[in-house]
Chains A and B, each alone.
Chain A
Amino acid sequence: MTIEAVSAAERRRRRVPYLLMAPGLLWLFLFYVVPMSQLVITSLQEGSLERGYRFTGDLSNYLAVFTTYRGQLFNSLLFAFAATVIGLAISYPLAYAIAFHTGRWKSLFLMLLLMPFLVPFLLRTLAWRIILADQGTVVGIIKTLGLLPEDGRLLSTAWAVVAGLVYNYLAFITLPIYVSLDKIDRSLLEAANDLYASPFTAFRKVTWPLSLPGVISGTLLTFIPAAGDYVNVELLGNPPNSMMGNVIQNKFLVVIDYPAAAAISFTLMALIVTLVVIYVRRVGTEELLT
């Protein structure tokens, strides 16, 4: 084979990854880059549907997030954070139990975990209205236990919103954690025991660090959509519980103020990306993930 032939084959081989990525890149360009650019342009415009929009480069829409909608922003971050923490507290033991203790029933438990997702999102959330209803059993029991005053309620409170968020994103946090726990070589835990680590220390020094990639993807898969969620507030909360998602939905679909809606969306997104970057850096998984 000549040198030219070798390099031609080499060139072909180098093209392969790009060809494989092409459909994905095209998709991202059409449905992510284009709308995002439009979003940025829209956010810098002024006007209304009747009078038409005009580019002014006005930044006041961006500041509105931190002034007018400070409360909603705070709600978004707080509820998403609470849902992530509570979700982690529920899903980690669950994932751990499925990965380590279910033996041959593993797939059954995984299926049970996914079962609720066969029911549409809206229906599931509506079901929570019934579960948390003022005359419902749950509220009754909690009142009997004295954890809620006689005139207290759960529906239309921040608790209900967080509960809905936790529930709706539970599988998204459990599955990545399960995957990273399941692939831990069991002999690593024996090795830790062999090296004088009690089961608890073995968990702290081996299982937990090795499950971090799953914890990180799981918490991100919960926090990011939860921070932008509006359906749970709509169905389970009340106006004071409004999140940024509700503001955006309102601006886009009710008030029809596209520039404001675009600016708020963009700000929220930038904020979440910043938080995610800080989080991933802090937990320092780069080494673990490679």
Chain B
Amino acid sequence: MSQAPGSTAGGETPAVELKGITKAFGDVLAVDDLNLVIDENRFFAVIGPSGCGKTTTLRMIGGFEDPTSGVIRLHGEDVTGTKAYQRPVNTVFQSYALFPHLTVFENVAFGLRRQKVADGDTARRVNEMLDLVQLGHAAKRKPRQLSGGQQQRVALARALVNHPRVLLLDEPLGALDLKLRKEMQIELKRIQQEVGITFIHVTHDQEEAMTMADSIAVMNKGKIERMGEPAEIYDDPRTPFVASFLGASNLMDGKVTSSSGAVRLADGTEMRVAAGGLQEGADIRLGVRPEKIQLGATAEDLRTTNRVAGRVTDASFIGISTHYLVDAGQLGELAVVVQNIGAARFPAGSDVVMGWEPGHCFVVQPV
């Protein structure tokens, strides 16, 4: 697997290193020969559909599951086989898992008390942490007296107060409503920058991952399909799975006609492509993001020579943009998103021309 922005080429010891990690549950391979290097101070997101092995990976880093084979290193130290309570990592659980019989203060103090931190220090650190998550006033309450968002912040404080080397977050925002989730995304990012701890965030919400993370790993069937900075993998997803999981994509079958960047689509249209590494004669799929497609009544309306014709089958106006579905014959139905900046609207049934810049499309290998 290739090196990605999440990893270092050398020098500094990475925060987390997974080498050849495999986890089997009976006959099922949850995680399949996974290699991953995550640097210090990163906000790293692991995304993928349910059952892709992302939570299992997180649980192995946390020490809740033992890998069937492979090595886990935290800051260079081999921790494979050690128990959760022996590892300098803390977890924010999906269900928060706050202790119902303890106050907010005692919940947050739990880890410090186990490490025999002096009472004075414990009180100071717990109060500081509660202030950081803006819950200083709720210290004496029981978890059930708090709202979902507040419970989530207690869970975060309870983990962070221990100054873990790595913080693991297992879908921590999944139970919150949309508005609160957006707020907490910004909040989490702020806290991560403030405390300077490596966050590993597992989620199935690609938008959430892109909002917060410096690097993203996209997992599918127990393997990492693509890893990199959000913009980088959005613009060049490389595999059909990543292209469709991370944002929406239009994928069209084609064949490379020139390694310098020409592709013939299934309907015979020649397209210029800016992607490198093309092999002449190779079967590929050409991908374009819906918002990168230009739409016009005639070819003269477009600012590119990469063009295909089609007929609008559906147009839905949603305020900041209009979403079209355009039937492009042999190429299938393409999704197009056009910003509402005074451009002409095309009702269903209109004949249109679509086009995109050579730099705005990407090439994926067919599965």
* Chain A interface residues toward B at CB < 8 A: 185, 187-188, 190-198, 201, 205-206, 209-210, 287-288
B287 in the interface, Cβ–Cβ < 8 Å?
no
Q: Give the docked Cα–Cα distance between A188 and B114 (Å).
A: 15
B322 in the interface, Cβ–Cβ < 8 Å?
no
Against A, the Cβ 8 Å flags (1 = close, 0 = not) of B106-129 are 000011001100000000000000
Is A197 a contact of B85 with CB atoms below 8 Å? yes
Contacts of A191 in B (CB 8 A): 91, 93, 97-99, 158
Q: Give the docked Cα–Cα distance between A206 and B84 (Å).
A: 16
Q: Determine how close the nearest CB of chain A comes to the CB of B81; give it in whole angstroms.
A: 15
State whether A190 and B110 are in contact (beta carbons under 8 Å apart), knowing that A196-B85, A198-B85 are contacts in the complex: no
Is A195 a contact of B90 with CB atoms below 8 Å? yes
Contacts of B98 in A (CB 8 A): 191
CB < 8 Å: which of A190, A198, A287, A288 contacts B97?
A190
CB < 8 Å: which of B63, B64, B89, B114 contacts A197?
B114
What are some 23 contacts across the A-B interface (CB < 8 A)? Answer: A185-B95, A187-B94, A191-B93, A191-B97, A191-B99, A192-B110, A193-B63, A193-B64, A193-B84, A194-B62, A194-B63, A195-B110, A195-B158, A195-B162, A196-B85, A196-B111, A198-B83, A198-B85, A206-B99, A206-B101, A210-B100, A210-B101, A287-B101
Contacts of A197 in B (CB 8 A): 85, 110, 114
User: 9 smallest A-B Cβ distances: which pairs?
Assistant: A195-B111, A191-B97, A196-B114, A187-B97, A193-B84, A194-B91, A193-B85, A195-B110, A196-B85
Q: Which residue of chain B has its CB nearest to the CB of A201?
A: B114
Contacts of B62 in A (CB 8 A): 194
Max count, chain A CB within 10 A of own CB: residue among B63, B83, B91: B91
Contacts of B101 in A (CB 8 A): 206, 209-210, 287-288
Q: Determine how close the nearest CB of chain B comes to the CB of A181; give it in whole angstroms.
A: 14
Q: Give the docked Cα–Cα distance between A191 and B83 (Å).
A: 13
State whether A188 and B91 are in contact (beta carbons under 8 Å apart), knowing that A193-B83, A195-B158, A195-B162 are contacts in the complex: no
Contacts of A198 in B (CB 8 A): 83, 85
Against A, the Cβ 8 Å flags (1 = close, 0 = not) of B70-98 are 00000000000001110001110111011
Q: Give the docked Cα–Cα distance between A172 and B208 (Å).
A: 50
Q: Give the docked Cα–Cα distance between A195 and B162 (Å).
A: 8
State whether A187 and B93 are in contact (beta carbons under 8 Å apart), knowing that A195-B162, A206-B99, A210-B101 are contacts in the complex: yes
Q: Give the docked Cα–Cα distance between A288 and B101 (Å).
A: 6
Is B93 a contact of A190 with CB atoms below 8 Å? yes
Is A190 a contact of B64 with CB atoms below 8 Å? yes
Q: Give the docked Cα–Cα distance between A205 and B159 (Å).
A: 17
Q: Determine how close the nearest CB of chain B comes to the CB of A285; give it in whole angstroms.
A: 10
Contacts of B114 in A (CB 8 A): 195-197, 201
On chain B, the number of residues with a Cβ less than 8 Å from chain A's Cβ atoms is: 25
Contacts of B83 in A (CB 8 A): 193, 198
Contacts of A194 in B (CB 8 A): 62-64, 84-85, 89-91, 159
Q: Give the docked Cα–Cα distance between A195 and B107 (Å).
A: 10
Q: Determine how close the nearest CB of chain A comes to the CB of B289; give it in whole angstroms.
A: 38
Q: Determine how close the nearest CB of chain B comes to the CB of A7; give it in whole angstroms.
A: 31
Q: Give the docked Cα–Cα distance between A185 and B93 (Å).
A: 12
B107-155 residues with Cβ-Cβ distance < 8 A to A are 110-111, 114-115, 142
Contacts of A201 in B (CB 8 A): 114
Contacts of A209 in B (CB 8 A): 101
Task: Give the tally of cross-chain contacts (CB within 8 A).
Answer: 64
Contacts of B84 in A (CB 8 A): 190, 193-194
Q: Which residue of chain B has its CB nearest to the CB of A202?
A: B85
Q: Determine how close the nearest CB of chain B comes to the CB of A190; give it in whole angstroms.
A: 6
Contacts of B97 in A (CB 8 A): 185, 187-188, 190-191
Q: Determine how close the nearest CB of chain B comes to the CB of A140; give it in whole angstroms.
A: 46
Q: Give the docked Cα–Cα distance between A287 and B106 (Å).
A: 15
Q: Give the docked Cα–Cα distance between A160 and B63 (Å).
A: 49
Q: Give the docked Cα–Cα distance between A188 and B96 (Å).
A: 9
Contacts of A193 in B (CB 8 A): 63-64, 83-85
Q: Give the docked Cα–Cα distance between A197 and B85 (Å).
A: 6
CB < 8 Å: which of A188, A196, A287 contacts B115?
A196
Q: Which residue of chain B has its CB nearest to the CB of A205?
A: B110
Q: Give the docked Cα–Cα distance between A232 and B158 (Å).
A: 52
Q: Give the docked Cα–Cα distance between A187 and B91 (Å).
A: 11
List 20 additional contacts besides A185-B95, A190-B93, A198-B83; criterion CB under 8 Å: A187-B93, A187-B95, A190-B91, A192-B99, A193-B85, A194-B62, A194-B89, A194-B91, A195-B110, A195-B114, A196-B85, A196-B114, A196-B115, A196-B162, A206-B99, A206-B101, A209-B101, A210-B100, A287-B101, A288-B101
Max count, chain A CB within 10 A of own CB: residue among B63, B110, B159: B110
State whether A188 and B85 are in contact (beta carbons under 8 Å apart), knowing that A195-B114, A196-B114, A201-B114 are contacts in the complex: no
Q: Which residue of chain B has its CB nearest to the CB of A191?
A: B97
Contacts of B159 in A (CB 8 A): 194-195
Contacts of B89 in A (CB 8 A): 194
Q: Give the docked Cα–Cα distance between A194 and B97 (Å).
A: 11
Q: Give the docked Cα–Cα distance between A195 and B114 (Å).
A: 7
Q: Give the docked Cα–Cα distance between A104 and B158 (Å).
A: 33
Q: Which residue of chain A has its CB nearest to the CB of B111?
A: A195
Q: Give the docked Cα–Cα distance between A201 and B98 (Å).
A: 16
Q: Which residue of chain A has its CB nearest to the CB of B87?
A: A194
Q: Which residue of chain B has its CB nearest to the CB of A195?
A: B111
Is B99 a contact of A188 with CB atoms below 8 Å? yes
Q: Give the docked Cα–Cα distance between A201 and B111 (Å).
A: 11
Contacts of B90 in A (CB 8 A): 194-195
Contacts of B63 in A (CB 8 A): 193-194
Q: Determine how close the nearest CB of chain A comes to the CB of B358; give it in whole angstroms.
A: 50
Contacts of B100 in A (CB 8 A): 188, 210
